[in-house]
Structure 1
């Protein structure tokens, strides 16, 4: 009885194991699941464990759910290869693959990834254009300001000639000194009279 049970379990394991391993599971992909792509993505390649039927394919959508156009997706042995028609913008994408393995079973799955291309070149080009424009503007402003500056300089020289130098004279010193002396004398006299009255 035990031998029969062991034989049946072995056969069941063999049949189920053969069926499971016959399925063509995803082995590798470019881009990988959850990868952040920092360079321009030219091709999308999915590699499976076994050869694929020619009806196998995949599609791709962006983070808004809009399907991204791909060139003809081709089957090359155990690989699926497709190329985005347009350059991918920064954002999230999902590749949905659907294959038929050599055992005839239909399998499908998703590969999410993110495109995050650096915008250094774009920023540099923008900065260069701005710098050139600013340089041209400054040059034009300097050219336009030259006659104005010359006119201001000439006006200043003429005004300097017309203005007479106001140098201090003897009167400027005598009058303030006299007033100060009178104030000191008056204050001294008042103080002496105040002391005498107190005494």
Structure 2
């Protein structure tokens, strides 16, 4: 009986040692929602973004954009409120495809970073542009150039959106695998404990009957 208890304790200690890293990994912050969201095609431009994570994030968390010309766009303001990151840009974003690079510090102190893609089909018209168009001052772009640029932007947007979707699917799959492993370990520990308790009572009963 003494040997069985030692074996059980060693088994439990080993399983806990293996389980702890997976529990920590599953507790890391993940992106739950975003506006604009991954793969979204906006009809109008925006100058703000909002990302929500699964846990509270620290103030040192950051975000930047990469446009289709590989130019980095830094926000003019980033506000952290609990698990939400609110981002403001100085100007409305131009039409095109954007890669969102976010980097956060979770409540557990771990640094997590990832990215996703969204696109804008046309920018929100400013007040000056509206007045120019009303007065007939604005110059209309050539139709051929518009069609060519639109096709190029749409193709690049589709490719990058597919890449972003694959990344999100991979993250979801990894989280599901970690959760499944944790559940299996917990069930095994519970079953082992029940078996040990039954064994102890059975052993005591045999000893009592032997007396």
TM-score, scaled to structure 1: 0.55
8 Å contact kept, 1:98–1:107: yes
1:66 aligns with 2:71: yes
CA deviation profile, 1:120-155 (whole Å, cap 9, x unmatched): 9989x859839xxxxxxxxxxxxxxxxxxxxxxxxx
Deviations 1:81-132 (A, max 9, x none): 1112112111011111111111111110112111112799989x859839xx
For residue 39 of structure 1, give the secondary structure of its aligned residue in structure 2: coil
Q: Give the number of the structure with larger relative contact order, counting CA–CA contacts within 8 Å between residues 6 or more apart.
A: 2
2:92 to 66, 87, 91: 87
Runs of 5+ in structure 2 lacking a partner?
138-211
Q: Does 1:106 align with 2:107?
A: no
Cα shift at 1:14:
3.7
Structure 1: 5+ residue runs without aligned partners? 131-199
Paired positions, count: 129
**TM superposition outliers: structure 1 runs of 4+ over 6 Å:** 118-123
Which residue among 114, 117, 136 is the counterpart of 1:129? 136
Asked if the contact 1:57/1:74 (under 8 Å) is kept, the reply is: no
CA gap 1:69/1:17 in 2 versus in 1, 3 angstroms: closer
**Following TM superposition, by how much is the alpha carbon of 1:45 offset from its aligned partner in structure 2, in angstroms?**
0.8
Moved more, 21-30 or 5-14: 5-14
Distance 1:73 1:118 in 2: 22
Segment drifting more, 91-100 vs 32-41: 32-41
Structure 2 matches for 1:7-18, cutoff 5 A?
Answer: 7-8=12-13, 10-18=15-23
- When Rg is computed on C-alpha atoms for both structures, the one with the higher figure is 1
